[in-house]
Amino acid sequence: MQPLHDPALVEVRRSRKRVRTVSAWREGERTVIAIPARFTRAQEKEWVHRMVTRLATQERRRRPSDVELADRARELSARYLSSRAVPTSVRWSTNQGRRWGSCTPSEGTIRISDRVRGMPRWVIDYVLLHELTHLLHACHGPEFWAELDAYPRTQRAQGFLEGYSFRAERGEDADGSAAEAAEVDELDGDELDGVVRDEAPTA
């Protein structure tokens, strides 16, 4: 196992302009940690460990297992659909073609495209809710969309998926660039420098 500070794994970037924040993000196989230039070596070690751990936790949330996906579907049904949508199974699928997911109301089964795996959690939640709503309304009629109105990020998630598809159709690296840009966007302007950001001590 390579040591944590191996440049092939972790790159620490010091900046005099950076005063109150520490950021972390992936560049290929490397993890980049941006820290204030004033940090001591002990502070650097502490914050590298903290941010690498936080980034890994964030990535696990964005790549749930089949069991975690089913658990999340139950949580979303309870929160937004009053637990009325009760699937018999929810799992990832590699044969969805261009669809983000599919639902078979007669069987109660939901399949989510493996392309969604790794997208921001609020996008995964939208796709899950979309398919859960099909258990209540088979077609995309007014009642269907009225149910999804309860989810506050419906339009934003739709825009994300449309942008992802557009990039894929143009042959761009939708799996990498789109997901990273969206994660920065998810932080709503307070986190401008990377995927994960935290406040650094001022003294």
Are 96 and 129 contacting, i.e. CB atoms less than 8 angstroms apart? Answer: no
Cα 29 to its chain centre, rounded Å, is 18
Percent of the chain topping pLDDT 70: 77
Confidence of residue 188 (pLDDT cuts 50, 70, 90): very low
Average pLDDT over residues 141-165: 94
State the pTM of this model. 0.60
Q: What is the pLDDT of residues 164-182, one digit of tens each?
A: 888 777 665 444 433 332 2
Q: What are phi and psi of 25, to 5 degrees?
A: -160, 170
Q: What is the pLDDT of residues 44-101, one digit of tens each?
A: 989 888 888 888 777 666 677 889 899 999 999 999 999 999 999 999 998 888 899 9
- Exposure string over 142-180, b if 16+ CB within 10 A, otherwise e: eeeeebbeebebbebbeebbeebeebeeeeeebeeebbb
Candidate ranges 48-57, 102-111, 188-197; pick with highest mean pLDDT? 102-111
Q: How many residues does the chain have?
A: 203
**Which residues, 6+ apart, have CB-to-CB distance to 28 below 8 Å?**
none
Residue 158, pLDDT score:
94
Q: Which of 188, 187, 181 is nearest to 167 (CA)?
A: 181
Res 116 pLDDT > 60: yes
Higher pLDDT pick, 24 / 179: 24
Place of tokens 């493996």: 114
DSSP H helices, the chain, are 41-62, 66-80, 121-134, 142-148, 154-169, 179-186
Q: What are phi and psi of 117, to 5 degrees?
A: -65, 125
Average pLDDT, the chain: 80
Percent of the chain topping pLDDT 90: 46
Residue 186, pLDDT score:
31
